Structure 1
Amino acid sequence: MNDTVTNSCNIETQMPNSGSKRGGWITFPFITGAVAGLTLASSGCMANLIVYLIQEFNIKSITAAQISNIVNGCIYMSPVLGAIIADSFSSSFSVISISSGISLLGTVLFTLTAAVDTLRPQPCTEELNICKTPSEVQYAVLYMGIALTAIGLGGTRFTIATMGANQLDKLEDQGIFFNWYFFTLYIASVVSFTGIVYIQDSVSWALGFGLCGAASLTGLAIFLLGYRFYHHDKPQESPFVDLARVFVAAIRKWKTQLSSRTEAYYGGHDGIALVVATTPGRNLRFFNSAALIVEGDIQPNGVIAKPWRLCTVQQVEDFKTVIRILPLWSTSIFLSTPIAIQSSLTVLQALSMDRHLGPHFKIPAGSIIVLVLISTSISLTFIDRVLYPAWQKLIGGSPTPLQRIGVGHVFNVLSMAVSALVESKRLNAAHNHHFQDQKNSIVPMLALWLCPQLVLVGIGEAFHFPGQVAFYYQQFPQSLRSTSTAMISLIIGISFNLSTALIDLVQRITGWLPDDINNGRIDNVYWMLVVVGVINFGYYLVCSGFYKYQNVKKGVYSSTVKNGDSS
């Protein structure tokens, strides 16, 4: 564990009773313990979903891959709803607790689909080549389990990241927490992708899903045990309503002449007197009119008369902060989309390759993705303990979040290029052995050839995922802290759904993705992703070049960027 964690624990281990401070590193074991248990459960249910759909529900390979991408998309988009609730209506603790219970119900339903024969279609008859499709009831139970797991995961994965960071005051400590949060997330996922997936493939699907339920229950229990130590943030009024008000007020006053006088702008009302306003920043000046006071905007007692015509200067600046971040946020969508496509296609590639390690052990196809998790976990440790300290000694400061994200872009493009080369080799092996006319034939090529591409994408994730979470957490307005860490989840969710649409489009206009991938051209799909990645990296460089850091103390990123007010 990082020395900072140890030192901080020695300082802040006092009992958080009514007279002492809550929060600090003492909450770290409870937060990470909960993350480990809940991740074991969710990853165990979803890691082998493609194989489960193909083998137990008789669904075709490309269709199963698309279903998996849609499911993953929903799982990663739902945290935004959990973050909105945590920011606006309830506490993070309540959202995480309730969502964990919902996720537990989802794993129970998954277990039932595997344990009760009537909840699955009959196995395919190979001699007659007959496969019975699932009934409506079977689909309903399966999708209900998936939906509950997605909803539960939505309220926990990134809301708990925000809650953990909120326990700490220093930016450096928050950065360390995010590194260890992702380390715990990936290590737990490694256990799911190896141990639980192996049990599902080789022992029993019901036992594998049952272990997921036990892990979910354990994670929830650990989280609840830390209740007395947590610093609990109180929810504020919905920040999204404030953002909408700024946009509407600016539109309604777009013809109003702006003023350079501070007193012409509204700073707010503290219940007794008007708050002294500051002049809005010069950037994105169009929205400054939302805080400009005109006749009829304020009542005699100083309260806003028409909330959708007048906002505070702070609300306007918060809105502009979000607008400035959106271009950078959009670049991450096309950073994650290739990863989403690669994750599903790699499982299909592994199913068609020789997965034996020795004469008696066969790697489960769903476990092949664990290489990404292992690579990321090792890389996170190396980055935290070796690369960052060396960077600080040589340059005198920490690498900025945007620099970390940029390195992730490079590794992502390299991974797609290697994927294309490996797939070309796999297709040559299939064609040389005349497998192109034999459906679901195993190509005499070891699945370990898929390792380099997965290792590269894992190294990239170790840079860009923590970098993105740290960037959004530090740059978003204070009122949107929970939503800020969910932005990365929203990116991944959109990427999975976009990957499904791209796979469908490629199927419609090309012959690259047939059900028998030995007759397809997945290598062309990967080369297409290389082109998309290079273009997107160029777009990212432009956006990051124009961005100026907000909400960061002077000197933190002084080696690379100019700090202070961007106005």
Structure 2
Amino acid sequence: MGKSSLASRKWNFFNWYYFCMGMATLLALTVVFYIQDNVGWGWGLGIPTFAMALSIIAFILGSHLYKKLKPGGSPLVRLAQVTVAAVKKRKEKLPEDATLLYQNREMDANISVHGRLLHTDQFKWFDKAAIVREAEAEASTPPNLWRLATVHRVEELKSIIRMLPIWAASILIVTSSSHIESFTILQARSMDRRLSPSFQIPPASLSIFSNLTMLTGLILYERFFVPFARRFTGNPSGITCLQRMGIGFVVNILATMVSSFVEMKRKAVAARHGLLDNPKAIIPISVFWLVPQYSIHGIAEVFTNVGHLEFLYDQSPESMRSTAAAFYWIAIAIGNYIGTLLVTLVHKYTGEKRNWLPNRNLNRGRLEYYYWLVSGIQVVNLVYYLICAWLYTYKPLEEVCENVEGEDKGSCNAGELELPRKESA
């Protein structure tokens, strides 16, 4: 019961986290944008500034409610120590019995509050960092961590290495979605955006449909999809974070394919009215033709982005969860940079006469070809992701057992080697 309720609370946390981010974006695209456009930039910039000040005050007032742990040192330094120790002992032979590798509960206490990582057989070369030499076994002083690492610290490095292929797959998802903030806006500018004779939808505000779909999707996911899936899987979260990401990958491919069909429709209407050579003309086709691709992208976010964030947080070592959250944003940054690089290469190598992405007249371009190219890249990326997810091994944590009354909780995993510690007088 405890494990299930914990998993459910964790799952709710990530959905609510992304829901709050979506609400903030929605307010920025509606209220703040309207004030900037109709009242003035002074108020438009002043309101977000005031909101940030309130958030800082709320953070300071609420910080005492958090459970604070003693710092356990830099996680990056620990990864470096394991690597250096393994290199120094590269000629050592690993023991056949993994319980002979070095363990030290006291040393790992601050970085393994919720359970130590157990030994795994993957990347066994790094286990050499935990080999105890004879001189180290006889020493009564704490070991030099640049020469001897605990199994928990070795497994921290292994966990990060295991996560990297899954993390890398998410980069191309960001790349494939980068056109939402560029080419789709150019398409919207050439389409009929009138809601009334006096009001037009600003092109950049179309992303509101993606946010609305994402916010609605998160609620439906939590209230309906998870209870339904739980009946078949027995998983408190309905499906695993890797399965959630995989569904998002498929939905994202569908979104890009829809983008291609909409562009072909837009150009067909432009050709029918003789507007292909007039880049500033408003083509008589409703801008709401772009809504389906925005909405499908919103659905993809419910699965891919939230699943990715949950995966990084859940599978990273306990002491490196803030670093894992940074990985999430690093993937977004790299994905956008690769998107820019892809556009540059396509523009450069598709020629001047039949350029897919011309500088001045999108009507004479081949934007639909670009969308098909991105769809193909995503299909390859999906195959890569499925292979990585199939081979992925979830991190193993020690089990904590309930002992008889009057005794402390202990680990169920016995037979661990710890070096002798010098007793104080």
TM-score by length of 2: 0.83
| Kept after mapping to 1: 8 A contact 2:313/2:325 | yes
Is 1:391 equivalent to 2:229 in the alignment? yes
Query: What is residue 143 of structure 2 aligned with on the other side?
Result: 304
Q: Which amino acid counterpart does residue 328 of structure 1 have in structure 2?
A: I
- Misfit runs of 4+, over 6 Å: none
Structure 1 distance, partners of 2:307, 2:66, is 25
Could you say what the CA RMSD is over the residues aligned between the two structures, in angstroms?
Answer: 2.5
| Kept after mapping to 2: 8 A contact 1:512/1:525 | yes
Q: Which amino acid counterpart does residue 211 of structure 1 have in structure 2?
A: I
> For 1:25-424, what aligned pairs fall within 5 Å after superposition?
170-261=6-97, 264-268=100-104, 270=106, 280-294=119-133, 300-305=139-144, 307-397=145-235, 398-424=238-264
Q: Which amino acid counterpart does residue 140 of structure 2 have in structure 1?
A: N
**Pair 548,339 (structure 1): closer, same or farther in 2 beyond 3 Å:** same
| Kept after mapping to 1: 8 A contact 2:118/2:152 | no
The alpha-carbon deviation at position 251 of structure 1 amounts to: 2.6
Q: Which amino acid counterpart does residue 265 of structure 1 have in structure 2?
A: L
Structure 1 distance, partners of 2:358, 2:9, is 49
| Kept after mapping to 2: 8 A contact 1:201/1:364 | no
Structure 1 distance, partners of 2:376, 2:99, is 52
| Kept after mapping to 1: 8 A contact 2:159/2:316 | yes
| Kept after mapping to 2: 8 A contact 1:304/1:310 | yes
Query: What is residue 404 of structure 2 aligned with on the other side?
Result: none
1:368-425 deviation digits (Å, cap 9, x = unpaired): 1111111100000000011111222344332111111111011100000000110111
Query: What is residue 515 of structure 1 aligned with on the other side?
Result: 359
1:511-547 deviation digits (Å, cap 9, x = unpaired): 1222222232211111111101111111111111111
Query: What is residue 341 of structure 2 aligned with on the other side?
Result: 501
Structure 1 distance, partners of 2:137, 2:183, is 59
| Kept after mapping to 2: 8 A contact 1:391/1:399 | yes
**Pair 522,174 (structure 1): closer, same or farther in 2 beyond 3 Å:** same
Structure 2 distance, partners of 1:360, 1:375, is 27
The alpha-carbon deviation at position 278 of structure 1 amounts to: 10
Structure 1 distance, partners of 2:252, 2:81, is 39
Q: Secondary structure at the match of 1:170?
A: helix
The alpha-carbon deviation at position 475 of structure 1 amounts to: 0.9
* Matched residue count: 381
Question: Which has the larger Rg?
Answer: 2
Query: What is residue 536 of structure 1 aligned with on the other side?
Result: 381
| Kept after mapping to 2: 8 A contact 1:347/1:369 | no
| Kept after mapping to 2: 8 A contact 1:260/1:279 | no
The alpha-carbon deviation at position 294 of structure 1 amounts to: 2.8
| More contact order relative to length (CA 8 Å, sep ≥ 6) | 2
Q: Secondary structure at the match of 1:368?
A: helix
Query: What is residue 457 of structure 1 aligned with on the other side?
Result: 297
| Kept after mapping to 1: 8 A contact 2:156/2:317 | yes
Q: Which amino acid counterpart does residue 505 of structure 1 have in structure 2?
A: L
1:66-85 deviation digits (Å, cap 9, x = unpaired): xxxxxxxxxxxxxxxxxxxx
Structure 1 distance, partners of 2:31, 2:260, is 29
| Kept after mapping to 2: 8 A contact 1:340/1:496 | yes
- What are the ranges of 5 or more consecutive residues in structure 2 without an aligned counterpart? 108-115, 400-412, 414-425
| Kept after mapping to 1: 8 A contact 2:117/2:155 | no
1:204-262 deviation digits (Å, cap 9, x = unpaired): 33332222212222222222232332323443200111112222222332222111245
Query: What is residue 32 of structure 1 aligned with on the other side?
Result: none
Structure 2 distance, partners of 1:456, 1:551, is 36
The alpha-carbon deviation at position 264 of structure 1 amounts to: 4.4
- What are the ranges of 5 or more consecutive residues in structure 1 without an aligned counterpart? 1-168, 272-276, 555-564
| Kept after mapping to 1: 8 A contact 2:233/2:239 | no
Structure 1 distance, partners of 2:19, 2:10, is 14
Structure 2 distance, partners of 1:232, 1:361, is 52
The alpha-carbon deviation at position 269 of structure 1 amounts to: 7.6
Q: Secondary structure at the match of 1:308?
A: coil
Structure 1 distance, partners of 2:63, 2:389, is 40
Identical aligned residues as a percent: 36
**Pair 544,553 (structure 1): closer, same or farther in 2 beyond 3 Å:** farther
**Pair 302,396 (structure 1): closer, same or farther in 2 beyond 3 Å:** same
